[in-house]
Amino acid sequence: MMGSDAQTTPETRSQTERPEAAIFSGGSRRLVVISNRVPRGDGPPGGLAVAMKDALKNRDSLWFGWSGESPPEASDDVLTEQRGQTTFAVTDISADDYAGYYEGFANRMLWPAFHYRLDLSRYTESDFEAYARVNEQFAERVAPFIEPDDLIWIHDYHLIPLAAELRARGVSNRIGFFSHIPFPSPEIFHAIPHKDRLIEGLACCNLVGFQSARDRSNFERYVCAHAHGFWRADGRISVDGRLVRSKAYPIGIDAEDFRQKALAPEVAEKADALVRAAAGRKIMLGVDRMDYSKGLPERVDAIETLFRRYPELVGQCQLIQVAPVSRGGVEAYANLRERLETAVGHVNGEFSTIDWTPIRFVANAVPREEVAAMMRVASLALVTPLRDGMNLVAKEYVAAQDPDDPGVLILSEFAGAAEQLTGALVINPHNPEEQARAISKALVMSRDERVERYRENRKVLAERDSSWWSSSFLSDLESASVDDFAAELLDAVDTVRTAE
């Protein structure tokens, strides 16, 4: 087993170790995407839909997931709609199952645990039973749609057991899984109830993708230390006779598309209005969902520390913090909003003048074009999550900036983006003094240094965009060996469950 990311990994091994990689290319196989939700025909595209745009382009595909409906008694019907070359297939989840599967085990147990907040995790056996049941239902309902040559791509923490359920139903296709959120350290993961069932689901995939090398390493270390896994010479891990390859695929954005949004005439008008309202003061920007993983109270503490340590900056800059409410029905989020509003009120009460407040706090959703306008004119962006899989806000900020006079990105070392955006000022979000020093440095940084840092980050955006993300993952999935699960597949699945 690897001791650190510096040692030999699948990424550093030669392609000659996988001669089959040359056989499966060109994207001719039909792609089956399975996620909790599917894109709505009449609504704005979600983050996953935008990221999958290139993967679905010019190929036949099926996208399966929840319909968004939760009747008291859900049927097992699957409704389909054809849009271009993609068939969208949706199914209902009963109200009770939704409460346990989505609100319960997925978002009260897995989400906080995967973001290193075991103290906020809440577990009940009934929640896990609903989580397992919905994954079983998804497998049962999508299996009839799967054709022998399809590639299957499962997304995110809601559906970790799904691959095992598909294998148990005789699906032998190549299956890939991508985790959009962090994968926790082995010590954290080991504390999650039914972790063996989760590992079983991942081990039933040919390829497991993560946002960062740190997340991939955490998964590999757990499997080899706690799940009887071991490294093979070809870079895959053997788990109970099944072979799985794991790799980091940091998700990207269409940087040029976002830059054009920031330059659109209607956006330029909003940007000009923001500059006029700032009255010569520098704009600091934060754009986050209101989530305890985003480090929002810690950010407010850093702003207070900034004005105490650098009183000459009082009245010279302002933080615009956009934080629309996320999962408002969960107690932890209600507590977070109350804590955040209290902290913002304290800082504004302490430092405000007649014509200036340190923090403008917006708890409502802001249209995307207004966000682009804010990013275009902000002198610095604070992207300081306590833990994040990637955080695309950091990349969008870089894309929106003026290349000749760019702002500065201040980025948490615990965001996956920190592995790529090395032109950022990388900080520990738990340390308000360090954040304050970085803000002060950014506000007085020379244009030459800002341009150099911007170019370093912009190069990453160009080389590792959303198209690279999907094509890299699917190329590796297509090249996976299909015999990994041929022998004793059903026995292996049944053995793990019997042991539980």
Q: Report the C-alpha gap between 155 and 161 in whole angstroms.
A: 11
Which residues lie below 8 Å from residue 167, measured CB to CB, with a gap of 6+?
175, 204, 485, 489, 490, 493
Active site annotation includes 60: no
Give me the helix-helix angle, 265-278 and 255-263, nearest 10°. 70
> Do residues 248 and 278 make contact, with C-beta atoms less than 8 angstroms apart?
no
Tokens representing 496? 């793990």
Q: Report the C-alpha gap between 159 and 179 in whole angstroms.
A: 10
- Of 180, 215, 301, 465, the active-site residue reads 180
Q: Report the C-alpha gap between 424 and 411 in whole angstroms.
A: 6
Three-state SS sequence of 129-155: HHHHHHHHHHHHHHHHHCCCCCEEEEE
Active site annotation includes 76: no
> Do residues 203 and 223 make contact, with C-beta atoms less than 8 angstroms apart?
yes
Please report which helix (H) or strand (E) contains residue 253, including its range. none
Query: Measured on CA atoms in the order 353, 354, 355, 359, is the torsion positive or negative?
Result: positive
Q: Report the C-alpha gap between 31 and 76 in whole angstroms.
A: 23
- Beta partners for residue 388, in sequence order: 415
> Do residues 394 and 251 make contact, with C-beta atoms less than 8 angstroms apart?
no
Q: Report the C-alpha gap between 89 and 63 in whole angstroms.
A: 6
- Of 127, 156, 288, 388, the active-site residue reads 388
With the CA atoms of 53, 57, 63 and 67 taken in that order, what torsion angle do they form, in degrees rounded to the nearest 10? 50
> Do residues 323 and 288 make contact, with C-beta atoms less than 8 angstroms apart?
yes
Three-state SS sequence of 428-442: CCCCHHHHHHHHHHH
Helix or strand or coil: residue 280? coil
Q: Report the C-alpha gap between 126 and 134 in whole angstroms.
A: 12
Strand 207-210 with 175-178, pairing: parallel
Tokens representing 384? 């300081």
> Do residues 267 and 302 make contact, with C-beta atoms less than 8 angstroms apart?
no
CB atoms within 10 A of CB 4: 9
Q: Report the C-alpha gap between 196 and 227 in whole angstroms.
A: 8
For the chain, the helix, strand and coil percentages under 3-state DSSP, each to the nearest 5 = 50, 15, 35
- Beta partners for residue 411, in sequence order: 383, 426
> Do residues 81 and 87 make contact, with C-beta atoms less than 8 angstroms apart?
yes
Q: Looking at the annotation, which residues are catalytic?
A: 180, 388
